[in-house]
Structure 1
Amino acid sequence: MVAKSNVTVIIPCYNDGLYVMEALDSILNQTLKADKIIIVDDGSERETRKVLESIDHENVTIIYQENQGVCKTRNNAIQLAETDYILNLDADDYFEATFIEKAVEVLNNNTKVAAVGSWVKILKNNVLEKEIKKPYGGSVKDFIIINNGIASSMFRRKCWEMVSGYDAEMQNGYEDWEFWISILKHNYEMVILQEPLYTYRQKMQSRNKSALNKYDYDLRKYIFVKHKELYKEHFEYYSLELLRKNSIFSRNQNKAKETIDYRIGNLILRPIRFLKRIIKK
């Protein structure tokens, strides 16, 4: 008899037909099987739909919908889950075979843990990078400056219910960061398994890059305003951390200016800047 994991895996999919089978296989090959896998096609083009239509597995449910964005897509799928634990997985990423087993063990043994993630391997141009991303997890205090977790983590369904799910206003990114803050401020913690059990595929164009390059300030401001009382509570820590990061940034900037490449570049650009001033006159 196969042991029940009490886990539902949610895989939002938007035009990831090239990768979704690898993501699905990483779940089907777990040492502790998920009770159910829900793939939500968020308005993908035909090629991806063809891949999804070819999937035939008793534990896999596929939902097709018009494009609604990742927050609503996750919420729609989680509403259908009947298990206590939910595992998010982006359709272009994958887990190592022992992740579910190890994450379930943590959640079963500690009621104050709301979510479990792991260290992260980075896949770029189909080659694994040497560097391993090592988020810390922790309490809400560890999340007010940066996101110390990862989106593809396992969490308690009751925590999702407690905070009314993912905030659909965060359609441009950072929704997982805000989700963790919303949960952890209720005296919960996130545990990070200190093994690289998750692989993140880094693309040339991605929602994460877009969030950082185009919407970073607005998204951070939204999180700050929504959780203003939390930031007031940890005002001294928050302020000192910002000062520390600003100091590090300033030192790195000065170091960059002292490099030979910077000096050569400055010499090359100097006559161009001079010409620009002359033209403006």
Structure 2
Amino acid sequence: MKLKSNVTVIIPCYNDGQYIIKAVDSILNQTIQADEIIIVDDGSGQETKNVLKTIYHPNVHIIHQENIGVSNTRNTAIAIAQTEYILNLDADDYFDPVFIEKAIQVLNENERVGVVGCLVKILKNNIFEKEIKKPLGGGARNFLVKNNGISGSMFRKKCWEEVSGYDEKMANGYEDWEFWISILSHNWMMHIIQEPLFIYRQKAISRDQTALVKFDFELRKYIFLKHKALYEAHFEFYAIELLRQNTLLKNNVRKAKNSADYTIGQLLLAPLRFLKKKNI
């Protein structure tokens, strides 16, 4: 019989019927079982609801609600969790079977660690990318410029309580990033297991992509203003990192312009630009 873990897994689900079974199975097949899996159906369509009806397991609890967003959904589920540790899992992602075992070992052995993540394998069009995502974790300073954690992480419920949960005003994305900053600014650390135990499914259209394309500035501004004291305390580090990223961006743009594809594209467009000018 598999050991219990003092872990509740939270899986928000919004129209992810084609992936949810894989996500749930990845938890049920862990070397150490979660005490409970709470799936929150956040107003999905009938197709996903039909898939959820096929899930029968004594450790799985399904909540149905109107669509209210991922932050509110997670807070609702975490509030009723009875365990010391919480593990987030989006319905379209999944874990390697040893993640829970390794994550609770870290939390049990180090009281300063509030959050445990790992390296990430990216699955695109059902094919694994060669590159492994390697978040830094660490303290709050590492999160000032970018999110150096992953959404699929395990954390202490008391960390969630200390920061009053996920910020439900962040309806357009980056709520994980802000949540980690809030926790780590309370003198917690994020530990990253140096193994790719989390599988992130990269889709052509996703909430993450929409946040980056449409709301990036507004979301970053909100995080900055909410945690302004933290940014001021690390102003020099923050400024230097922004300068470094600006240089990298310029270099990448220059390389792209010098690439063969870009040069050919410019040559092909040249006649069209000429004709446009002649018509003005």
Same topology, TM > 0.5: yes
Cα displacement (A) at 1:47:
1.2
Question: Residue 166 of structure 1 corresponds to which residue in structure 2?
Answer: 166
Cα displacement (A) at 1:274:
2.8
Moved segments of 4+, more than 4 Å: none
- Three-state SS of the structure 1 residue aligned to 2:55 is coil
Cα displacement (A) at 1:2:
4.9
Mapping of 1:148-163 within 5 angstroms?
148-163=148-163
Cα displacement (A) at 1:279:
2.5
- Three-state SS of the structure 1 residue aligned to 2:80 is coil
Cα displacement (A) at 1:270:
2.5
Amino acid at match of 1:201: R
Amino acid at match of 2:18: L
- Three-state SS of the structure 2 residue aligned to 1:146 is coil
Question: Residue 37 of structure 1 corresponds to which residue in structure 2?
Answer: 37
Amino acid at match of 1:36: E
Q: Distance in 1 between matches of 2:262 and 2:18?
A: 41
Cα displacement (A) at 1:216:
0.6
Question: Residue 105 of structure 2 corresponds to which residue in structure 1?
Answer: 105
Question: Residue 58 of structure 2 corresponds to which residue in structure 1?
Answer: 58
Question: In the alignment, is residue 208 of structure 1 matched against residue 208 of structure 2?
Answer: yes
User: Which consecutive unaligned segments of at least 5 residues does structure 1 have?
Assistant: none
Q: Distance in 2 between matches of 1:60 and 1:261?
A: 51
Mapping of 1:1-281 within 5 angstroms?
2-280=2-280
- Three-state SS of the structure 2 residue aligned to 1:180 is helix
Are the counterparts in 1 of residues 2 and 31 from structure 2 also a CA contact under 8 Å?
Answer: no
When residues 2 and 96 of structure 1 are mapped into structure 2, their CA distance, relative to the original with a 3 A threshold, is: closer
RMSD (Å) for aligned C-alpha atoms: 1.1
Percent same amino acid at aligned positions?
64
Amino acid at match of 1:172: N
Q: Distance in 2 between matches of 1:123 and 1:223?
A: 29
Q: TM-score, normalised by structure 2?
A: 0.97
Amino acid at match of 1:140: A
Cα displacement (A) at 1:255:
2.1
User: Which consecutive unaligned segments of at least 5 residues does structure 2 have?
Assistant: none
Are the counterparts in 1 of residues 115 and 189 from structure 2 also a CA contact under 8 Å?
Answer: yes
Q: Distance in 2 between matches of 1:257 and 1:62?
A: 51
- Three-state SS of the structure 2 residue aligned to 1:74 is helix
Q: 1:171-222 CA distances to partner (integer Å, 9 max, x unpaired)? A: 1110000000000011111011111101111111100000111111111111
Cα displacement (A) at 1:35:
0.7
Cα displacement (A) at 1:140:
0.5
Cα displacement (A) at 1:102:
0.2
Q: 1:70-119 CA distances to partner (integer Å, 9 max, x unpaired)? A: 00000000001011100000111110110000000000011111100111
When residues 4 and 259 of structure 1 are mapped into structure 2, their CA distance, relative to the original with a 3 A threshold, is: closer
Q: Distance in 2 between matches of 1:128 and 1:253?
A: 27
Q: Distance in 2 between matches of 1:260 and 1:75?
A: 49
Cα displacement (A) at 1:131:
1.4
Q: 1:17-74 CA distances to partner (integer Å, 9 max, x unpaired)? A: 1111111011011111101110110011111111111211111111000111100000
Amino acid at match of 2:56: D
Cα displacement (A) at 1:261:
2.6
- Three-state SS of the structure 1 residue aligned to 2:213 is helix
Q: Distance in 2 between matches of 1:261 and 1:203?
A: 25
